[in-house]
Structure 1
């Protein structure tokens, strides 16, 4: 890693820590530079403003979710098993300790700034999650009834997040989730699966 890339990474890590502790309004670029071990001038060479730093952090969150490999539908495997596998991958990414920390920091700012929240969710909506492709492929193959794949994926992900993400995010603790993923998928399939 080049020195300039390392400095940029250090600045982002320092900004995340500063935003977590102080909130966006209370965060200070001078303190961020000091935490990162760089001059204020170096910070501003990489990021023009505190807003640019915050945007870089939200881009990291979107990139992490987008980096999940898409899941192709396999007509020779049970669809419920494929959905569970894709959802388990998704949950592993969104409940990673660093991801939870980033989400706490960013969402607290979104509660304060509706415009920033709208911009983030518009950008995030443009990226497909692995389960969306799987659902779209299953619809195309006739295993699921035709519908908007993104909408259907949103319904399933909302069910899953209720049990796997929100307790961790809000309470800082994992819940007993034995059998819950299977139940979420069964509910989804009861509505979308085509009759054979």
Structure 2
């Protein structure tokens, strides 16, 4: 990478501002998960932070914007990880198995489970929550996976099809086991063997459905 390609080093002021923003998001995430969206107030978060409400409002203009930022930070971190796993030069089946295990592991984490329950329980009263969540998390993950699958189709590794639909099918298969059981309260946390089994199940069915024509 050349010097001009390197990102600029933030000033001390910018670094402090980013650190403050990260601290707000960490506290806000815990607060949302503990109190729900309806039970969360900007005043409550400001009190938890130990600062003024004005400082919080200077970073985030509304509770909805703060919730979106909490989701966006978590989603970006996961997409960065997933993009590294989706290696177009690696063997397709193994790459998909690794990526799907990562996805099942992510959606069955305690943090993701609590967030899903929040969205489900409060989605009727606050329909914007579902849209924010879908746009920043499942939708962006689907697009990232679709881009990888599009490349696999172009390389002849799987049959040509709509890559968005293919990504949707693969994600749905991944979430049909442990994740579904967690959402309805039949499972607390899956063990690694169950996560691997869910991923293998999803990839096996997906590759049969999207196998290249002989």
Match of residue 172, structure 2, among 139, 158, 164: 158
Equivalents in 2 of 1:48, 1:37: separation in Å? Answer: 19
Match of residue 147, structure 1, among 147, 154, 161: 161
Indicate how the Cα distance of structure 1 residues 21 and 82 shifts in structure 2: closer, same or farther if over 3 A, else same: closer
Match of residue 101, structure 2, among 84, 88, 92: 88
- Number of aligned residues: 194
Indicate how the Cα distance of structure 1 residues 5 and 106 shifts in structure 2: closer, same or farther if over 3 A, else same: farther
Tell me if 1:186 matches 2:204: yes
Equivalents in 2 of 1:46, 1:37: separation in Å? Answer: 15
Tell me if 1:43 matches 2:56: yes
Tell me if 1:113 matches 2:126: yes
Equivalents in 2 of 1:182, 1:149: separation in Å? Answer: 20
Question: Which shifted more, 124-133 or 181-190?
Answer: 124-133
Indicate how the Cα distance of structure 1 residues 130 and 168 shifts in structure 2: closer, same or farther if over 3 A, else same: farther
Conserved 8 A contact 1:104-1:169: yes
Listed as ranges, the gaps of 5+ residues in structure 2 are: 1-11
Structure 1 moving runs of 4+ over 6 Å: none
Equivalents in 1 of 2:132, 2:75: separation in Å? Answer: 12
| Cα deviation 1:65-101 (Å, max 9, x = unaligned) | 32222513347x3x33232122123233333443434
* 1:73 corresponding residue in structure 2: 88
Secondary structure of 1:26 counterpart: coil
TM-score between both structures, scaled by the size of structure 2: 0.75
TM-score between both structures, scaled by the size of structure 1: 0.80
CA-based RMSD: 2.8
| Cα deviation 1:103-143 (Å, max 9, x = unaligned) | 44445443432244235424542555654343222211112
Equivalence map 1:129-148=2 (5 Å): 131-148=145-162
